[in-house]
A and B are shown apart, each in its own frame.
Chain A
Amino acid sequence: MARVVVRDILITTLLLGLFAATGTGLVAWVHLATSDRITENRLAMTRMRVTQVLEGLEYDNDPVVDATTVSHPQLGGTGLPVWFARRNDTVVGMVLSAIAPNGYAGPIHLLIGVDTQGQVLGVRVTQHRETPGLGDDIEADRSDWIHGFRSRALGDPPIEAWRVRKDGGVFDQFTGATVTPRAVVQAVRNALVYVQEHGDALQATPPPDADQAVVIEPLPPAEAEHVAPGGPPPVPGTPEGIIEVEP
Chain B
Amino acid sequence: MSAHRSEIVRAGLWTNNPGLVQLLGLCPLLAISGTVVNSLGLGIATIATLVLSNSLVSLLREHVRPEIRIPVYVLIIASVVTVIELVMNAWFHGLFLVLGIFIPLIVTNCAIIGRAEAFASRNTVPDAALDGLAMGVGFTAVLVAIGALREVVGQGSLFDNAHLLVGEWGRHLRIEIFPQEHGFLLAMLPPGAFLAMGLLIALKNVIDARLEGKPVAASVEPEPASEPGERAPSRS
Q: Which residues of A contact B (CB under 8 A)?
A: 11-12, 15-16, 19-20, 23-24, 26-27, 30-31, 34, 37-38, 41-42, 44-45, 131-134, 218-219, 223, 225
Q: Name 26 interchain pairs, CB-CB below 8 A, sorted by A.
A: A15-B63, A15-B64, A16-B68, A16-B72, A19-B64, A19-B72, A19-B75, A19-B76, A20-B75, A23-B76, A23-B78, A23-B79, A26-B79, A27-B86, A31-B86, A34-B90, A37-B90, A38-B93, A41-B89, A45-B93, A45-B97, A132-B185, A132-B189, A218-B96, A218-B97, A225-B104
Verify A132–B188 contact, CB threshold 8 A.
yes
Q: Are A26 and B91 in contact (CB under 8 A)?
A: no
Q: Is the interface of B mostly helix, strand, loop or mixed?
A: helix
Note all chain A residues with C-beta closer than 8 A to B232.
none
**Bound: A34/B97 CA distance, A:** 16
Are B89 and A30 within 8 A (Cβ)?
Answer: no
Distance (whole angstroms) from the CB of B194 to the closest CB of chain A? 16
Q: Are B72 and A30 in contact (CB under 8 A)?
A: no
**Known contacts A34-B87, A37-B90, then 15 further A-B pairs from the complex at CB < 8 Å, ordered by chain A residue:** A11-B65, A12-B65, A15-B64, A15-B65, A19-B72, A24-B79, A27-B83, A34-B90, A38-B90, A41-B89, A41-B90, A131-B189, A132-B34, A132-B189, A218-B100
What's the minimum C-beta distance from B162 to chain A, rounded to whole angstroms?
14
Q: List which B72-103 residues lie within 8 A (CB) of chain A.
A: 72, 75-76, 78-79, 82-83, 86-87, 89-91, 93, 96-97, 100-101
CB–CB A23/B75 < 8 A: yes
Q: How far is the CB of A176 from chain B (nearest CB, A)?
A: 9
- Closest beta carbon of chain A to B88's beta carbon, Å: 10
Complex Cα–Cα for A72 and B54 (A)? 50
A41 touches B93 (CB 8 A): yes
**B83 and A26 contact, CB distance less than 8 A:** yes
A15-B63, A15-B65 as given contacts; A27 in contact with B79, CB under 8 Å: yes
User: With a CB–CB cut-off of 8 A, which chain B residues contact A12?
Assistant: 65, 67-68
Chain B contacts to A: CB under 8 angstroms: 34, 63-65, 67-68, 71-72, 75-76, 78-79, 82-83, 86-87, 89-91, 93, 96-97, 100-101, 104, 154-155, 183, 185, 188-189
A38 in contact with B188 given A12-B65, A45-B97 (CB within 8 Å): no
A167 to chain B, nearest CB (A): 25
A134 near B83 (CB under 8 angstroms)?
Answer: no
Q: How far is the CB of B66 from chain A (nearest CB, A)?
A: 10
Given A12-B65, A20-B75, A223-B101: A30 touches B86 (CB 8 Å cut-off): yes
Known contacts A20-B75, A23-B79, A131-B189; is A37 also within 8 Å of B91 by CB? yes
Cβ–Cβ contact A30 & B183, under 8 A? no
